[in-house]
Amino acid sequence: MWKELNMLVYKDRTFCTLYKLCQGGQECCRAATPELVKESMEANLPLCTYAGKPDCFKEVDDGRKGQQGHEDAEPREEASEPEQDKLV
């Protein structure tokens, strides 16, 4: 038998962790920014995130696609807070 579970998450919304790789990510209201993660932790509410790429995702085409080791490529930022893993 299926039992419905109700869960309260921050802002009752699903957020995107891929916003830095998306064309509209910097302006997106669903971007899981470090500030948003901090707010959810302060509110003691879990942050719901997409398990994959959302339908609206459009990859940034900055001319470096497929160029491994490009000199001016920015390094990937790793999650700085281990608590972020608990929010998924």
- Is 29 domain-assigned? yes
pTM metric for this prediction: 0.62
Task: Tally the C-alpha atoms within 13 A of residue 63's C-alpha that lie toward its C-beta.
Answer: 2
Nearest to 46 by CA among 78, 14, 68: 14
Report yes or no: 19 and 31 within 8 Å, Cβ to Cβ: yes
Q: How many domains does the chain have?
A: 1
Residue 73 included in any domain: no
| 17 located within any domain | yes
Segments forming the whole domain that contains residue 19: 9-52
pLDDT band for 58, please (50, 70, 90 cuts).
very high
The 10s digit of each residue's pLDDT in 38-56 is 999 999 999 999 999 999 9
Q: Is there a domain that residue 87 lies in?
A: no
- Classify residue 75: in a domain, yes or no: no
Give burial (CB, 10 Å; 0-12/13-18/19+) of 15. Answer: buried
Residue 36 lies in a domain: yes
Q: Is residue 79 part of a domain?
A: no
Three-class secondary structure of residue 30 per DSSP? coil
